[in-house]
Amino acid sequence: MSTVVPRSDYARDILHVYGIVTWVAIGIALVVGLALAWILVRFRDRPGVSRVPAQTRGHTLLEISWTIAPALVLLAIAIPTIQVIFRTQAAPPRDALEIIVYGHQWWWEFRYPALQVVTANELHVPAGRPVALTLQGPDVIHSFWVPQLGGKRDVVPGRLNRLTFTAETPGEYRGQCAEFCGVSHANMGMRVIVDAPEAFARWVAAQKTELAEPAGLAAEGKAIFARSACVGCHTIRGVSSGALGPDLTTFGSRHTLAAGLHPISVDNVVAWLKNPPAVKPDAKMPALGLTDEQARAVATYLIGLK
Partner 1 sequence: MTSADASGRVLHAPPLAGVETPATVSSWLTTVDHKRIGILYGATGFAFFLLGGLEALLIRLQLAVPNNTVVSAHVYNALFTMHGTTMIFLAIMPFNAALFNYMVPLLIGARDVAFPRLNALSYWLFLAGGLLLNASLLAGTPPDVGWFGYANLTSKHYTPGPGVDFWIVSLQILGVSSVIAAINFIVTILNMRAPGMTMMRMPVFVWMTLVVQFLIALAFPPITVGLIFLMFDRFFGTHFYDVAAGADLHLWQHLFWIFGHPEVYILILPAFGIVSEVLPTFARKPLFGAPVVIYSGVLIGFFGFSVWSHHMFAAGMGPVADSAFSIATMLIAIPTGVKIFNWLATLWGGTIRTTTALHFAVGLVGLFTIGGLSGIMHASPPVDLQQTDSYFVVAHLHYVLIGGSLFGLFAGAYYWWPKMTGRLLGEWLGRIQFWVMFAGFNLAFFPQHYLGAIGMPRRVYTYPGDAGWTAGNFASTVGAFGIGVSVLLFIVNAWRSLRRGASAPADPWDGRTLEWRTSSPPPAHDFDTIPPVYGRDSFWREKYGPRRGAPAAASPAPPHLPASSHWPIMIAHGMGIAAVGALTHVSIVVIGALWTIWGIFRLALEHHRTHAHADQTGVLGLDHRKMAMWVFLGSECFFFGTLVATYLAYKGRSVVGPAPHEIFNIPVTSLSTFDLLMSSLLMVLALAAVQRGDRRQALLWLFGTAFFGLIFLGFQAYEFTDFVHKGFTLQRNLFGSTFFVLTGLHGTHVAIGVLWLLALWVLALRGRLGVADAVKVEIAGLYWHFVDVVWIAIFTLVYLIP
Pairing of strands 97-104, 107-112: antiparallel
Q: How far is the CB of 227 from partner 1 (least distance, A)?
A: 31
Closest to 236 measured CA to CA, from 223, 224, 221, 246: 246
Contact in structure between 2 and 148 (CB atoms under 8 Å): yes
Query: Which CB sits closer to partner 1, 54 or 114?
Result: 54
Q: How far is the CB of 288 from partner 1 (least distance, A)?
A: 22
Residues 299, 246: Cα–Cα separation, whole Å: 15
Query: Which CB sits closer to partner 1, 53 or 210?
Result: 53
Q: How far is the CB of 91 from partner 1 (least distance, A)?
A: 11
Q: How far is the CB of 95 from partner 1 (least distance, A)?
A: 22
Query: Which CB sits closer to partner 1, 42 or 227?
Result: 42
Residues 233, 49: Cα–Cα separation, whole Å: 81
For CA atoms 297, 306, 284, 261, the dihedral sign is: positive
Give the contacts of 47 (CB within 8 A, at least 6 positions apart): none
Query: Which CB sits closer to partner 1, 261 or 290?
Result: 261
Query: Which CB sits closer to partner 1, 24 or 96?
Result: 24
Q: How far is the CB of 174 from partner 1 (least distance, A)?
A: 7
Closest to 196 measured CA to CA, from 113, 124, 89: 124
Query: Which CB sits closer to partner 1, 51 or 227?
Result: 51
- DSSP strands (E only) in 156-272: 161-166, 171-176, 189-195, 235-236, 240-241, 256-257, 262-263
Q: Label each residue of 209-229 as H, E or C.
A: CCCCCCCCHHHHHHHHHHHCC
Q: How far is the CB of 94 from partner 1 (least distance, A)?
A: 20
Q: How far is the CB of 208 from partner 1 (least distance, A)?
A: 32
Q: How far is the CB of 119 from partner 1 (least distance, A)?
A: 22
Query: Which CB sits closer to partner 1, 185 or 237?
Result: 185
Query: Which CB sits closer to partner 1, 129 or 262?
Result: 262
Alpha-carbon separation of residue 130 from 44, 93, 94, 110, 166 (angstroms):
61, 7, 9, 16, 4
Three-state DSSP class for 153? strand
Measured from the Cβ of residue 61, the count of other Cβ atoms closer than 10 Å reads 7
Residues 47, 34: Cα–Cα separation, whole Å: 24
Measured from the Cβ of residue 131, the count of other Cβ atoms closer than 10 Å reads 23
